[in-house]
Amino acid sequence: MLCPAKINLGLKVLFKRPDHYHEIESIFLRINWGDEIEFIPNDLGIARLFSKNELNGVKHALFEEVSERGDFSRNILFKTFVKAKQIKPDLHGVDIRLTKRIPPGGGLGGGSTNAAYLLSYLFRDFPELQDSVREMSSSIGADVPFFLLPGHAHVSGIGEILRPISIASGTGILVIPPFSINTKDSYISLKKPLQSEWGQKSWSLLDKDFSFALERGDWSKLREKFENDFEKYAFGEFPELEALKQDLYRQGSSFVSMTGTGSCVYGFVEGIEKSRHIQQWMTQHYPDSYFIQFSF
């Protein structure tokens, strides 16, 4: 089954909390591209991974380090199974067959989507435990609660406060550069103080014009509304990312942004033919990056 990636439509870091997590606000969009994952029960009482690594370059090496060919105990799937057993110790074991396409350090939620789909599988027959699973899921990864739910969502808190949101369907181009960005370094670069009253103002999602623009997919109108706070740091470290963003706009994308803490960038494009044209141009000018057409 598809284990989908997500992209961020805007990402604000409002302030650093006393518990050292960061209060954020974003809109998460689930896209129709990602990993392939399959679960097969085993009688061993353990989780085993059987993976096919389709990543390239440094991203290939990063996943190998935590695959079954490296140290699987460092993999989010291993950690998820351990936490799941704490909720229900008599869970059967599981063999996980994973085709890995979502790059680490890309801002696409690759580990979190894998973890969420494993939790959904393990607890599919235990509806009475769903609340416990949701509460536990944010301790695995901030994006995991989102992937436990269908559709798109407005996300706040540290990622655990979710509000389903209606967004017009669309198409786009995802750019996977040949490098990753460290999430911890990205947050350090913001240097947000602890005082919550200092934080940025959140988006006014109750604003009717704002909601209407999202439902219509009026992306050009919303360019200034949705900004990713991590772009300044990422573009300073990797100027190629800013060039990618500007070229996606020049070629006709209606909205372009980095997703998450990076390094991936996406552009919304009106129409499949236009998307193909932009992809061809970008591939010629950025041969080291990988380009994927997606819909949402």
CA proximity to 95, closest of 73, 113, 77 = 77
Q: 285: how many CB neighbours lie within 10 A of its CB? A: 12
12 catalytic residue (yes or no): no
Which tokens go with 48? 């085993």
The residues, ordered by sequence, that sit 6+ positions from 54 with a Cβ below 8 Å of its Cβ are: 99, 100, 101
Q: What's the distance, CA 268 to chain centroid?
A: 16
Question: How many angstroms separate the CA atoms of 139 and 19, rounded?
Answer: 13
Catalytic residue among 6, 12, 16, 59: 6
The H or E element that residue 216 is part of is: helix 208-216
Say if residues 55 and 176 touch (Cβ distance below 8 Å): no
Question: How many angstroms separate the CA atoms of 95 and 122, rounded?
Answer: 11
Q: What's the distance, CA 80 to chain centroid?
A: 17
Compute the C-alpha angle 186/192/197, nearest 5°: 145
CA proximity to 260, closest of 103, 66, 82, 79 = 103
131 catalytic residue (yes or no): no
Catalytic residue among 35, 143, 229, 247: 143
Catalytic residue numbers, as ranges: 6, 143
